Structure 1
Amino acid sequence: MSPPTEFVRNSGGSIISRNALEGVAPIRWAFREEPATEVDNGWRFLSAIDDDAYLSVPANMTVVSFNTVVEIEPAVLPLLYLPVGSDIAIHREAGGPILLIDRPSGTPLQL
């Protein structure tokens, strides 16, 4: 596998579910926590089919470059600089645009 395209230099690492990384299901949820390390950007990405049982298995999550996540789902690129505590749903309309929705308010983001 070739290195990811560098959309953003030094964008750090993100945690992503293997379902999303391996293309089993699209990324549906993104949230930002306090970074765990210096290279962690705090972003966590979950797929549309991840449930509590799946997420309770640590091996089902992995660390990748944020640029890898952008290769999988380009719509997440503008999320990088949102603050810790951000909680985003990625909503896809059949044949329409992808909406990034602030989950607490239900409001589409204007990024």
Structure 2
Amino acid sequence: MPDYIEFIPKAGACTVTKNVLSGQGKVRWMVREPSKGPADNGWIIMSHLDTSEYLQDGSNWDIADFNSVCMIEPALIGIWDFPVGSDLQIVRDDKGIHIVDTPTGREIPQEEHFIPPQFRQQN
């Protein structure tokens, strides 16, 4: 696997748990908060292993380039431009990977997913 792929130009950095970065946990929850600085895109990424206690310990968090986290879980590419306040989760089942709005349980249809400029069809 290449060291780095820029899926999204100038995607910025996100806050992510060490379980995601280490590969121990699969990406499960994604919440977008207001940016805390110019490089911060506001995304907070958590794994399926992360408990409330784990999340409360600041040493279990890191800052990572969003594109690097997309290399771990490509489904994140599709949520990049969702608005602040988004509360999403990845659901894996026998039909694949789905992005679901956590509060409503609504599956986000493919046509609402972000497509990086280099992969958009030209008309």
TM-score with structure 2 length normalisation?
0.85
**Secondary structure in structure 2 of the residue aligned to 1:67:** helix
Alignment RMSD (CA, Å)? 1.1
| Structure 2 portions without partners, runs of 5+ | 114-123
Q: Which has the larger radius of gyration?
A: 2
CA shift digits 1:27-85 (9 cap, x unpaired):
00001000111110000000001011111111100001110111000011011100000
Aligned to 1:26: 26
Where do residues 84-95 of structure 1 align in structure 2 (5 Å cutoff)?
84-94=84-94
Aligned to 1:98: 97
Detail structure 1 runs of 4+ shifted over 6 Å in the superposition: none
Name the CA distance, whole Å, in 1 between partners of 2:58 and 2:34.
Answer: 18
Matched pairs, number: 109
Name the CA distance, whole Å, in 2 between partners of 1:7 and 1:21.
Answer: 18
Aligned to 1:74: 74
**Secondary structure in structure 2 of the residue aligned to 1:77:** helix
Aligned to 2:54: 54
Name the CA distance, whole Å, in 2 between partners of 1:4 and 1:66.
Answer: 11
Would you say 1:5 and 2:25 are equivalent positions? no
% identical equivalent positions? 34
Which structure shows the higher helix fraction?
2
**Secondary structure in structure 2 of the residue aligned to 1:108:** coil
| Structure 1 portions without partners, runs of 5+ | none
1:105 Cα deviation after fit: 1.1
TM-score with structure 1 length normalisation?
0.93
